[in-house]
Each structure stands twice: as structure tokens, then as C-alpha cells.
């Protein structure tokens, strides 16, 4: 029996998450002082591009268990939206504002979407149709 080949969704996802975490650490480490946003914006853009490419490559997989993917990913998305919201609340509560808050919020969006996508992909990848 031949195993279906998948794009490197997990590897690309981990690279994307590493970039987004590095950007978040960079911004957080420099607070409350003024933070130069250039490096964080570059990391955010690269991470978002990797996430978009990852989603695109996943849509091209023939016979992928989308029903299982969405059954798992939607609940993971709910959990990660809650955690991202809590982290965002902490930044607002600690008086982070302006463009720094926007970059952090967008970084949290990438985090909150990409992790559930990876969880859903992992489950759907090993799901046996008709089982």
C-alpha cells in the first residue's frame, strides 16, 4: 500500500511559528520603552506568508480528510482564540498601544490560526477514510 505524499505542512508551520514567537519576544522584551517595529514587522510578514503558503499547499492535496480536519481544527481554533485574546488583554492592560499593539495583535492572529491548522492537519493526515 502506497502512502500519500503531503506537502511539508508541519515543517513550514513550525518555521512560521518560530518567526512569530521571535517577533513577539523581540517586542515584549523591549517594552515599555519605544520599540523599533521594523524587525517585528518583517518577522510577522514572513510568518504570515508562510502560513498562507501552507494553507494553499494544503488545499491542493487530493483526497484529504477535510471533514476530520475541520472537526478538530474548529475546536482547537476556539481554544487558541481564547488564549490569544487573553494574551492580547494582558498587553492592553499593561498600556501597550499604537502600532506596537497592532503588530502584537496581528502576531496573535497568526498564532491563533496556524496552531489549530497544524493540529487539524496532523489528525486528518492519519485519518483512515471509512474507519
Confidence (pLDDT) at 31: 81
Confidence (pLDDT) at 97: 85
Instruction: Report d(CA 85, CA 124) in Å as an integer.
Output: 27
Can you give the pLDDT of all 131 residues of the chain as single tens digits?
456 788 999 999 999 999 999 998 998 888 888 889 999 999 999 999 999 999 999 999 988 999 999 999 999 999 999 999 999 999 999 888 889 999 999 999 999 999 999 999 999 998 876 55
Confidence (pLDDT) at 75: 97
- Of 100, 92, 86, 80, nearest in space to 33 by CA: 100
Confidence (pLDDT) at 34: 84
- Of 39, 44, 42, 15, nearest in space to 26 by CA: 39
Amino acid at each position: 500500500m502506497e502512502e500519500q505524499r503531503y506537502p511539508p505542512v508541519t515543517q513550514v508551520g513550525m518555521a512560521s511559528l518560530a518567526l512569530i514567537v521571535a517577533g513577539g519576544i523581540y517586542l515584549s522584551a523591549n517594552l515599555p520603552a519605544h520599540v523599533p517595529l521594523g524587525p517585528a514587522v518583517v518577522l510577522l510578514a514572513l510568518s504570515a506568508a508562510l502560513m498562507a503558503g501552507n494553507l494553499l499547499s494544503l488545499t491542493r492535496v487530493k483526497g484529504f480528510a477535510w471533514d476530520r480536519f475541520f472537526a478538530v481544527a474548529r475546536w482547537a481554533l476556539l481554544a487558541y482564540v481564547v488564549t490569544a485574546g487573553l494574551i492580547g488583554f494582558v498587553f492592553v492592560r499593561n498600556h501597550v498601544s499604537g502600532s506596537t499593539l497592532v503588530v502584537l495583535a496581528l502576531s496573535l492572529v497568526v498564532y491563533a490560526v496556524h496552531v489549530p491548522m497544524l493540529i487539524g492537519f496532523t489528525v486528518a493526515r492519519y485519518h483512515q477514510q471509512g474507519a
